[in-house]
Structure 1
Amino acid sequence: MSENASAEEPAPPTVLSDPEHGVPDVITSERQLIECATAIASGSGPVALDAERASGYRYGQRAYLVQVRREDAGTWLIDPIALPDLSPLDRAIGSAEWLLHAATQDLACLAEVGLRPRQLFDTELAARLLGLPRVGLAAVVEHYLGLSLAKEHSAVDWSTRPLPEPWLRYAALDVEVLAEVRNLMGVDLAVQGKSDWAREEFDALLTWQPNVKEEPWRRTSGMHKIRKPRVLATVRELWYARDQIAQERDVSPGRVAPDAALVAIAMEPPRSIADLPRSPRSIPRYGRQWLAAVERARALADEDLPAASVKGDGPPPQRSWADRNPLAAARLTATRERLTVFAEERSIPVENVCAPDPLRRVVWTPPAEHSAAGFDAALAGHGVRGWQRAIVAPMLEAAFTEHPG
């Protein structure tokens, strides 16, 4: 490479390595929490928040550290294990706008400690609407501020006490520049004509709830190997036994026993602890629980065994549409072609214009009236936002006009 070519290469981003005012101490007392709440209440502008969990280490998705920052109030790090009720901070924030990155990752665990937004701005979702090629926090910060944000501590065990200073520095930096990024993103959303889209998406997050699976055991890795109902029942009993052990020990279920071990036990049901796999060590350690689970499955009546698969309430797999309903397949293809063009012209992922599931449902079971108004109502019934319906409903009307029947 020539010297001229080297000179034209963009300079590497500046590393953001230290919070502006240093790494704050972790708040663990009610007195400190009130001090924090008072400072946040007297601050100005939106409030940046983040939470660190111990996914893969502890049971559930509770927060083990909460970070909050506001202009003129500074950054505060709070231990929600020592202080499980952060309602004083919630009252201090009041109706101020929350700034979050990937809000659905943190809203549930923040609600558990009494923190609930009245309005919010999600920088990850904004990045998707703006068509950024990468939407992780580090990538977004680099895009807007030319700063490199280290993420080497993102997967550590945040239930560790005391938390190491490098981890706390990392946590404080996660909220350090969110307000600045939010302002720049707000300008871009306005320039691209997407401010109203973003506001509707953010407002929808205020009532977001995590999806709870009715039969979570069916997500066990390796289930595709199993067809016999009795073996399925054994996996189910083992899954719930593992979940109970994990909850009692407050560890991630995967640390009690991997999915592969549960499937192996179910496929060759043991009669004694000696028959169990010897690895990992947790298998013989909880031998009695595994054997009890196997016996529960063995004792079930045939009519109480789980079905090999659960029939969904939606349309059949799309791969079968051409044979089962060629007209619906043609209508879906025509709609998706229009959606793709629209998304590419506006630099937005097509799934953010309309998620695949509601679109398939409406095309497979269309409303009686094949008009934009009819499709608007049908999409609304599946939770599609107003701005999305205004775009997609006319496309559906056009597709059904092209392919009548």
Structure 2
Amino acid sequence: MAAVDARRVERGDLDVIDTHEELAAAITRLRDGHGPIAIDTERASGFRYSDRAYLVQIFRRGSGTLLIDPIPFGSLADLAAAIQDEQWILHAATQDLPCMREIDLIPNNLFDTELASRLLGKDRVGLGAVVEELLGIELAKAHSADDWSVRPLPASWLAYAALDVELLIDVRDRLAEELIDAGKDGWAKEEFEHLLGFRPKPHDPERWRRISRLSSLRSPRQLAVARELWLARDDYARETDTAPGRIIPDRAIVAAAQALPRTLNKLAALKTFTGKESRTQIDRWGAAIRRGLTTEELPQRTARSGNGIPHPKGWANKRPEADARFKAARPAVADTAEQLHVPTDNLLTPAYLRQVCWEPVGTDAESISQQLANLGARQWQIDITAPVIAEAFVEAA
């Protein structure tokens, strides 16, 4: 395995840019460079409630590496304007685009190296794995889960962060060649254009159901207490910008919901009710439990579907014809994906297939194509999957 050769990495200095004078100089450096722009961000999701960027890494040939602390600036619109006409390269863009948008770093043209790897059917698509496969360089991931909101950032962290972008253009070049060779460059172009409009899904009002081991709670009253504790924790986490699990862990919520303590003393006596703020915010948690114990809005055992479509497990009883369509179409789409060496989820979003099977506007390829387009499928996906789904529907009839 080749080590990272410092001579082949076109480094600038690795000092963090955190003043307006330094940012102006960095923008000049970027303008003097050439070719696409590699961009990455570091967040502190395991430590903070917000998903804001605490470091922005940028690399361009002829410009070197720029490490920018976005916190003092609020907006990096001037920097974005300087590189707006160039292609921006990201790895797993959906992870970075929301926090980039918050600081006005909004691309007009992008290349996602993770998504390109998926379209090419690579077994491993993490940045380290892709760099290792294409460039023969092993990247350490020692600081990927660190708290990037701390200041000052250690030099070893900055060196790690720099490598995430310093090799990204080389990776992009190799992947672009492979996409052309595989005849998938058109697919990638459509996918990258679609990503430009990416927005995170609106918050699900039933997010509390993601509590670990929630299934161990048997009664609606226990679920109500768990829900109220989760909501109270979420409010406090947002208020203090702290990762919820660092306030009280999920297991503490489940333990309290199982015990249903009716007084603060009984709650405080629960050894299983743990966490950094389990005692300092005891009044908050006690109030949440009281709400759960007295509410008349008791949750159902299973979550409501956001689009009104029940889980496919229940289709056979509720709508047998939809069940037959789904059981014919899903393996047909999966087989097509395997033949094309692309993950099934990338060939067609599973929710789109469920919608078409549950309530098709028509069962012919043209009707299915239109419905998929209305749902948000890209044209390359429609061209491949609509005929496959239509044929499966005929078999299911």
Report the TM-score when normalising by structure 1.
Answer: 0.90
CA distance in 1, matches of 2:170, 2:213: 45
CA distance in 2, matches of 1:402, 1:254: 49
Contact 1:48 1:70 in 2 (8 A): yes
What is the percentage of aligned positions where both structures have the same residue?
Answer: 45
Alignment partner for residue 33 of structure 2, among 35, 40, 43?
A: 43
Contact 1:23 1:168 in 2 (8 A): no
Instruction: Answer with 121-130 or 238-247: which moved more.
Output: 238-247
Instruction: Answer with 18-27 or 139-148: which moved more.
Output: 18-27
CA distance in 2, matches of 1:243, 1:311: 21
What is the aligned partner in structure 1 of residue 227 from structure 2?
236
What is the aligned partner in structure 1 of residue 94 from structure 2?
104
What is the aligned partner in structure 2 of residue 225 from structure 1?
216
In the alignment of these two chains, the number of paired residues is 389
SS across alignment from 2:39: strand
Cα deviation 1:95-141 (Å, max 9, x = unaligned): 21110000011101111111111110000000000011110101111
SS across alignment from 2:55: strand
What is the aligned partner in structure 2 of residue 316 from structure 1?
310
CA distance in 1, matches of 2:363, 2:276: 61
Which AA in structure 1 matches 2:353?
A: L
SS across alignment from 1:319: helix
SS across alignment from 1:68: strand
What is the aligned partner in structure 1 of residue 280 from structure 2?
285
Q: How do 1:16-27 residues align onto structure 2 when only pairs under 5 Å count?
A: 16=4, 18=6, 19-21=9-11, 23-27=13-17
User: Is there any run of 5+ residues in structure 2 with no aligned partner, and where?
Assistant: none
CA positional deviation for 1:396: 1.6
Contact 2:333 2:389 in 1 (8 A): no
CA distance in 2, matches of 1:135, 1:384: 22
> RMSD value over aligned CA atoms?
1.9
Q: How do 1:46-85 residues align onto structure 2 when only pairs under 5 Å count?
A: 46-85=36-75
SS across alignment from 1:210: coil
Instruction: Answer with 105-114 or 279-288: which moved more.
Output: 279-288
What is the aligned partner in structure 2 of residue 275 from structure 1?
267
| Structure 1 residue 360 corresponds to structure 2 residue 354 | yes
SS across alignment from 1:149: coil
The 1:128/1:228 distance shift into structure 2, 3 A limit, reads same
CA distance in 1, matches of 2:289, 2:204: 23
CA positional deviation for 1:305: 3.3
Which AA in structure 2 matches 1:283?
A: S
Q: How do 1:1-400 residues align onto structure 2 when only pairs under 5 Å count?
A: 13-16=1-4, 18=6, 19-21=9-11, 23-211=13-201, 212-270=203-261, 271-273=263-265, 275-276=267-268, 277-278=270-271, 279-300=274-295, 302=296, 304-312=297-305, 313-322=307-316, 324-367=318-361, 369-400=362-393
Instruction: Answer with 187-196 or 37-46: which moved more.
Output: 37-46
CA distance in 2, matches of 1:20, 1:42: 14
Cα deviation 1:279-313 (Å, max 9, x = unaligned): 3353112111111212233343x2x3333333313
CA positional deviation for 1:68: 0.7
CA distance in 2, matches of 1:395, 1:178: 36
